[in-house]
Amino acid sequence: MAIWLTKDSKVIVQGMTGSEGSKHTRRMLAAGTTVVGGVNPRKAGTTVDFDGTELPVFASVADAMKETGADVTVIFVPPQFTKAAVVEAIDAGIDLAVVITEGVPVHDTAAFWAYNVAQGERTRIIGPNCPGIASPGASNAGIIPADITGSGRIGLVSKSGTLTYQMMYELRDIGFSTCVGIGGDPIIGTTHIDALAAFEADPETDAIVMIGEIGGDAEERAAEFIKANVTKPVVGYIAGFTAPPGKTMGHAGAIISGSAGTADAKKAALEAVGVKVGKTPTETAKLMREIMSGR
């Protein structure tokens, strides 16, 4: 079992005919993902060949869902068109929208996030500025390399795409149920807490790796949630111990203000609720390995 993305998921790609969309559609297909079509109003009615697999192009997400039964969309459109693409997916009522696009204006993200809430949060949004979600051996929606690890019983949620890949590699011999890259922008659709709750409820996830980074208070709020709601072992890593205050480091959300949002503060909050926090990704993987070896 996996969270949100399974072997039965049917995936469409908004922006499938563009350079990034076509490249990663090909990779998703190679990973075994059931990709059933793409969306581009200007090329509706055509098909695209991906190494022998012909995928239809639809005028809208609603049309694609009606014709294929799609329940997941992966969005590869330029930043200026991302809000419209996400709103279209929400209006169509699709279950999961994975927003890969980097550089989406924060006010646009705020707008489509608020719109989704107003519509009853029928659609789960992951991202923007994220690597996507992968359930190894079952399905892969986004840009996460499919050959890093196999399936297993660890759940992974991470703000950082690169650290998602590294942790998958470090624990590749144990494997993962699902790996979720939630993105590092100031406003995101799915949070650490959302993933923690889903992994806690998943009977085939035994333990959880949570990767955070400096800036904001998401990790502190996750610590409070873990204390109250999570019974499974959690290990953590916080990127940015050497970051200078007041500087944005990599992600738009990774900025320290005074003593708030520092790696030390986040580490302390997590350790206070029993989460073991590694000083490096490799040390974090070692902590998880110790937990899994006792199961």
Report the pLDDT value the prediction gives residue 240, as an integer from 0 to 100.
Answer: 81
Please check the confidence at residue 246 and state whether its pLDDT lies above 70.
Answer: no
13-65 pLDDT, tens digit each: 999 999 999 999 999 999 999 999 999 999 999 999 999 999 999 999 999 99
Q: Which residues contact 191 (CB under 8 A, 6 or more apart)?
A: 182, 218, 222
190 is in an annotated binding site: no
Q: Is 251 a catalytic residue?
A: yes
220 is in an annotated binding site: no
Q: Is 43 annotated as a binding residue?
A: yes
Tell whether residue 102 is among the known ligand binding residues: yes
Domains of the chain, each with CATH number or no CATH = 9-124 (3.40.50.720), 147-291 (3.40.50.261)
What is the mean pLDDT of the segment spanning 228-254? 78
- Over the stretch 128-176, which tens digit does the pLDDT of each residue have? 999 999 999 999 999 999 999 999 999 999 999 999 999 999 999 999 9
**Residue 219 labelled as part of a binding site:** no
- Look up the pTM and report it: 0.94
